Amino acid sequence: MTHLDGRTIGSKLDLDTDVVVVGSGPAGSAVARRLSALGLLVVVIEAGQWFDPLDYPESAFESMARLYRDMSASVVLGKAPLPYVQGKMVGGSSPINGAICWRMPRDVYDEWISADPRLAETLNWDVLEAVTDEIETRLNVLPTDPAIAGPKNLLMAKGAEALGIEHRPIRRNVRNCMGMGRCIQGCPAARKQSVEATLLADALQNKTQVLSSAEVQQIIVDKGRAKGVRGRLAATHTPFEVRAKHAVVLAASAVQTPALLLHNGIKHGPVGRNFQCHPGVSMAGRFPDMVRMWEGATQGHEVIGLRHEGLKFEALGFGLGIMAGRLNGVGRALAEEVEHMPYHLDWGAAVRAEAKGRVVSFRGKPYVVYQPTPRDVHTFRRGLRVLGEMMLAAGAIEVMPGVRGVVEKTSSLADLVRLQDSGPGSATAYKAAITHMFGTCRMGSDPGTSVVGTDFQHHAVKDLFVADSSVFPTNIGVNPQIPIMAIGTLCANKIHEKMT
């Protein structure tokens, strides 16, 4: 196993390899695993550190400060400055996500193929399914065990059942989960099967090298071909260069990947455009008995019966410092709410938003410009109504929508209906956050409307590939880590095919 820790390297680093991968998240790890299994030498470069699970902090603040990009406080530019969350560590966001696993939805896949039939040349459904099966086996993806689900998840089941909406235990990539409820801060017991512990570990067994705490700044292009990357080691600013004989693969996320291309003047096609995501809203509720939301699987139950409306509901689990910030009021009212936190739950609704934004690069830093549409905001309201109804049906005394200009707390269905039908039309009234980002280097057969081809290779720069969710033509309405790994694997297959 070779891990080069950029924090400890004091002199210029030069590496030669077959393939260099920028980013060690789900896509990058999947690419490295596949290519290394096919006998190629791979170097994976990661801007963040490699953390030992024992070092994962319990405190929400400490985890935000150490494990997340920009202290988890990145915001989009727009009328509503919605935060978006990305991990910055080996494994990308997978060590600090909710471990939620979904296969690629067939209806979304069909949309993609219908819009661009040639995508099926690479994204063959049967092959995608087979790759997904193998990944899910490797990551031990299984439904959440009711024994460690905890009240917040079991009550969601109760609420959804009462409303007659399809629901189920979330399928999660964990092994022997203890229900510590610390997925978002990183599992200190190493029960989450995130990619650095699985796919990347497999790659390391096949001679892959990981260079961590290293920021890629330059893509080396010579006569129209990608030849490698250059950058600086994060702690010491010492330069490094990694030269790749066969391919440079960008897998740095739908925000960082297009920004890197733009920063390097590789502006072909709609790079940075078509930014799509899943903005989410949440509803807090107070229950008559202690529900202790920090116990049990962080996110163990989901409600999927309204996916056709672009809504997916999940139990949420935050560190208490974050949860407290979502409670109503200030001053003594807030202090009282904090004292009642053992009786509070928070559930979320992720929206398959129709809005499209843009990633731009300024002085090497990415900025996301994005604004939910009026229809997206209507879906926020619909989601909040359903969340509130489910909570009341599950036994909540009152629910708190957290929407400006609307009742602070209510136990009345009429208030929730009013929120849906005539709540604020501006996204600024809602406490929303963005998870899952896509589309900014979309793949396609038409070079005029895509950044990479159906083979994941950049239309204008040979041997330059993109493997992360930026190649997805659209958002997908469900948690994307498994589809990202599967499609990343198909990208690796294409790279290998090109060589042979």
Partner 1 sequence: MRDTLMVTILPGSPKASPEFWQEFDATSPVHLKLGFGIALLVLGHVSPLIFGHFGGLASMSEDAREHFIVRVASAPVLRDLVEIAKVVACLRAFSNTDLEDRLRGRA
In the complex, the residues that contact partner 1 under the rule CB under 8 A are 58-62, 64-66, 70-71, 73-75, 292, 294, 319-322, 324-325, 329-335, 338-339, 341-342, 404
**Pairwise CA distance, residues 429 & 80, whole Å:** 8
The smaller minimum CB distance to partner 1, of residues 58 and 309, is found at 58
**Pairwise CA distance, residues 10 & 352, whole Å:** 45
**Dihedral-angle region of residue 354 (phi above 0 means left; psi in -120 to 50 means alpha; beta otherwise):** alpha
**Pairwise CA distance, residues 150 & 300, whole Å:** 8
The smaller minimum CB distance to partner 1, of residues 115 and 335, is found at 335
Query: What pairs with residue 238 in β-bridges?
Result: none
The 3 state secondary structure assigned to 302-314 is: EECCCHHHCEEEE
Q: What is the closest distance, in whole angstroms, from the C-beta atom of residue 61 to partner 1 in the complex?
A: 4
Q: What is the closest distance, in whole angstroms, from the C-beta atom of residue 433 to partner 1 in the complex?
A: 12
The smaller minimum CB distance to partner 1, of residues 65 and 130, is found at 65
The smaller minimum CB distance to partner 1, of residues 61 and 267, is found at 61
**Which two three-digit tokens encode residue 287?**
């229950």
The smaller minimum CB distance to partner 1, of residues 268 and 409, is found at 409
**Pairwise CA distance, residues 477 & 108, whole Å:** 8
The smaller minimum CB distance to partner 1, of residues 331 and 448, is found at 331
Q: What is the closest distance, in whole angstroms, from the C-beta atom of residue 71 to partner 1 in the complex?
A: 5
Taken in order 285, 291, 292, 294, the sign of the CA dihedral is negative
The beta strands (E) that lie in 318-462 are given as: 344-351, 357-362, 365-369, 398-400, 432-438
Could you write out the DSSP letters of every residue in 447-478? TTT-SB-TTSBBSSSBTEEE-SGGG-SS--SS
3-state DSSP: the chain helix, strand, coil percent, rounded to 5? 35, 25, 40
The smaller minimum CB distance to partner 1, of residues 35 and 67, is found at 67
Amino acid identity for residue 371 in this structure: Q
Write the CB contacts of 335 (distance below 8 Å, at least 6 apart in sequence): none
The smaller minimum CB distance to partner 1, of residues 84 and 112, is found at 84
Q: What is the closest distance, in whole angstroms, from the C-beta atom of residue 156 to partner 1 in the complex?
A: 21
Contact 398, 390 (CB under 8 A): no
Q: What is the closest distance, in whole angstroms, from the C-beta atom of residue 8 to partner 1 in the complex?
A: 20
Q: What is the closest distance, in whole angstroms, from the C-beta atom of residue 331 to partner 1 in the complex?
A: 5
**Which two three-digit tokens encode residue 253?**
């996320």
The smaller minimum CB distance to partner 1, of residues 44 and 293, is found at 293
Q: What is the closest distance, in whole angstroms, from the C-beta atom of residue 88 to partner 1 in the complex?
A: 11
**Which two three-digit tokens encode residue 436?**
């899952």
Write the CB contacts of 396 (distance below 8 Å, at least 6 apart in sequence): 285, 286, 287, 345, 411
Q: What is the closest distance, in whole angstroms, from the C-beta atom of residue 390 to partner 1 in the complex?
A: 25
Contact 245, 225 (CB under 8 A): no
Q: What is the closest distance, in whole angstroms, from the C-beta atom of residue 24 to partner 1 in the complex?
A: 21
Q: What is the closest distance, in whole angstroms, from the C-beta atom of residue 119 to partner 1 in the complex?
A: 36
SS3 call for 414: helix
The smaller minimum CB distance to partner 1, of residues 237 and 332, is found at 332
